[in-house]
Structure 1
Amino acid sequence: MKKIVLTLALLVGGLYVQAQQVRFGIKGGANLSSLGEYKHALLASEDAQLEYKLGFHAGVFSQIYINQKWGLETAIYFTQLGGRDQDRNFDEDYKLKATANYLQLPLSVFREIQLSDRMKLFPSIGIYAGYGLSGTIKATGQIQNIDIAQQQDYFDDFARRFDFGGTAGVQVGLGNVLLGAGYYQGVLRVNKQKTNWDDNAYNSNFKLTVGYLF
Structure 2
Amino acid sequence: MKKILFILVCIVCAFTASAQRASSSSTTFFSTEKAEQSVTFGIRVGMNSSNMKFSGEDDSDSPDNKIGFNAGVSVDIPMLQSLYLQTGLYYTTKGYKVEENDGDEKYTTKATPSYLEIPVMASYRYDFSDNAQLQVNFGPYFAYGIGGKYKEEWSYKGEKEEEKEDLFGKDKYLNRFDAGLGIGAGFTYSKFFFGLNYQFGLSNILQDAKDGYSVKNKNLSISIGYNF
| RMSD of aligned Cα (Å) | 2.6
Q: Which runs of 5+ in 1 are unaligned?
A: 1-17, 40-46
Q: Which runs of 5+ in 2 are unaligned?
A: 1-33
> Does structure 1 residue 190 correspond to structure 2 residue 196?
no
Tell me how far apart the structure 2 counterparts of residues 148 and 77 of structure 1 sit (CA, whole Å): 34
Tell me how far apart the structure 2 counterparts of residues 204 and 165 of structure 1 sit (CA, whole Å): 9
How far residue 133 of structure 1 moved from its aligned partner, in angstroms, is 0.3
Q: Secondary structure at the match of 2:162?
A: strand
% same residue: 29
Instruction: Work out which of the residue numbers 24, 27, 50 in structure 2 matches 1:33.
Output: 50
For the 8 Å contact 1:119–1:173, the answer to whether it is kept is: yes
> Does structure 1 residue 78 correspond to structure 2 residue 95?
no
Tell me how far apart the structure 2 counterparts of residues 138 and 163 of structure 1 sit (CA, whole Å): 21
- Which protein is richer in strand relative to its size? 1
For the 8 Å contact 2:35–2:81, the answer to whether it is kept is: no
> Does structure 1 residue 211 correspond to structure 2 residue 214?
no
> Does structure 1 residue 174 correspond to structure 2 residue 203?
no
Q: Which residue of 2 aligns with 1:108?
A: 121
Tell me how far apart the structure 2 counterparts of residues 92 and 124 of structure 1 sit (CA, whole Å): 45
Tell me how far apart the structure 1 counterparts of residues 78 and 122 of structure 2 sit (CA, whole Å): 10
Following TM superposition, the consecutive aligned residue runs of length 4 or more in structure 1 with deviations greater than 6 angstroms are none
Residues matched between the structures, number: 186
TM-score normalised by L of structure 1: 0.79
Distance 1:87 1:196, change over 3 A: farther
Distance 1:197 1:92, change over 3 A: farther
Instruction: Work out which of the residue numbers 88, 92, 98 in structure 1 matches 2:111.
Output: 98
